[in-house]
Structures are given as structure tokens and as C-alpha cells.
């Protein structure tokens, strides 16, 4: 593990970014780069698994950082693809976000609440304008167009449903999103 920039200084790690209503997160974020040899071969992405040692080191580092900065909440532990979905795909779908949550780091949905919303949305998905608001409430940047909506949905799926991250909005994705908003923001639909 290497510290490249003192936490009191600004780095250009996040780049053009947005989370929880704020743009350009470089001055208010601590960036962690995890080595992973993901590849993009003409639009075909390959995401290797993270080594258990990397995950253990990440959990220890996050525990240290969140102990020193108690205002960092569970929904603030995010990846490049969450804060810059229009240009980033890392850490990719192989980062075990649920494992991080089970170790006390980050956010995850409650399965019974997800299932309840998913059953509701099998009858019919909420209007996209409502889903757009739900993504923004959780922290994601507004989608500027259809492509952005798909990219953001894909980033969300890589984080919370890594087995299927094609960017297609479906009942399960909406169920996860609404369950997260209910759990962490107290917003029920």
C-alpha cells in the first residue's frame, strides 16, 4: 500500500465527478486506487477478481479512514464508476461490495425490502422520471440523456448487482435502488 498524496492535500484522483449533490469531489474525497487488470477490448470488458489480500487490506484501510473521519457515511463509500459513471468503469463488478458491507464498510440493501419492491415493480416499473429522482436522491449525478441513464444504471448494477450489469432498468434494479433509499435516506415509495 502506498500513500501518494497527504490526506490534507487535494489530489486529482476523482477527476470530473459528482456525488450527493456535489460536483468535482477532489477537494472532499480520499481516493483509493486498487490494482486490477481490467480490460476493454473494443467494448468487451474483462474484470478479473480481486485477490482476498486486496479485499482484506481495503477493509482495514476503510476502517482506519472512517474512524478518523466519522462524517463519512455508508453511502459515501463509492467507486469511480459511481461518481463518474459517464467515463469510468472501475472498480468494476468484481469488487465485493457486499463483503465490504458485511465487514462494516459501505452500504447494502436489506433483502426482504428489495424483494417487496421487486414484486411491486414486476407489475410495472416506476416512470423513468421517478427512477431518475431516486438515483439522484441516493447520490448519483443526473443523467443528461438516454445514454447517461443507461451508463448510470450499469454503474449502479456493477455496485449492487454484479452478476448482471447490462444497464437495462428492470424490476430488480429498481427494487434495490428503492430499498437503499428507504434504508439510508428514510424514503419510501
* Enzyme catalytic residues: 33
Instruction: Report the alpha-carbon distance of residue 168 to residue 173 in Å, rounded.
Output: 9
Quick one: which H or E segment has residue 164?
A: none
Q: Which residues, in sequence order, are CB contacts of 69 under 8 Å at separation 6+?
A: 30
Residue of 124, 122, 110 lying closest to 160 (CA atoms): 110
Q: Cα–Cα distances in Å, from 22 out to 86, 99, 124, 141, 151?
A: 16, 27, 32, 9, 19
Considering only CA atoms, give the Rg of the chain: 16
Q: Within 13 Å, how many C-alpha atoms sit on residue 132's CB side?
A: 10
* Helix locations, 87-187, DSSP H: 97-102, 111-123, 128-138, 146-160, 171-185
* Helix locations, 31-127, DSSP H: 52-68, 80-83, 97-102, 111-123
Amino acid at each position: 500500500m502506498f500513500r501518494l498524496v497527504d490526506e490534507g492535500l487535494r489530489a486529482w484522483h476523482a477527476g470530473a465527478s459528482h456525488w450527493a449533490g456535489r460536483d468535482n469531489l477532489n477537494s472532499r474525497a480520499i481516493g483509493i486506487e486498487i490494482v486490477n487488470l481490467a480490460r476493454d477490448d473494443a467494448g468487451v470488458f474483462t474484470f478479473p477478481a480481486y485477490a482476498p489480500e486486496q479485499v482484506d487490506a481495503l477493509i482495514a484501510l476503510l476502517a482506519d479512514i472512517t474512524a478518523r473521519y466519522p462524517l463519512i457515511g455508508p453511502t459515501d463509500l463509492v467507486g469511480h464508476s459511481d461518481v463518474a459513471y459517464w467515463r469510468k468503469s472501475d472498480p468494476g463488478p468484481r469488487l465485493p461490495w457486499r463483503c465490504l458491507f458485511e465487514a462494516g464498510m459501505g452500504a447494502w440493501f436489506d433483502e426482504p425490502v428489495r424483494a417487496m419492491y421487486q414484486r411491486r415493480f414486476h407489475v410495472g416499473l416506476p416512470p423513468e422520471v421517478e427512477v431518475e429522482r431516486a438515483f439522484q436522491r441516493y447520490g448519483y449525478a443526473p443523467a443528461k440523456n438516454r445514454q447517461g441513464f443507461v451508463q448510470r444504471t450499469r454503474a449502479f448494477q456493477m455496485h449492487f448487482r454484479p452478476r448482471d450489469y447490462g444497464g437495462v432498468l428492470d424490476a430488480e434494479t429498481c427494487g434495490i435502488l428503492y430499498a437503499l433509499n428507504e434504508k439510508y435516506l428514510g424514503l419510501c415509495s
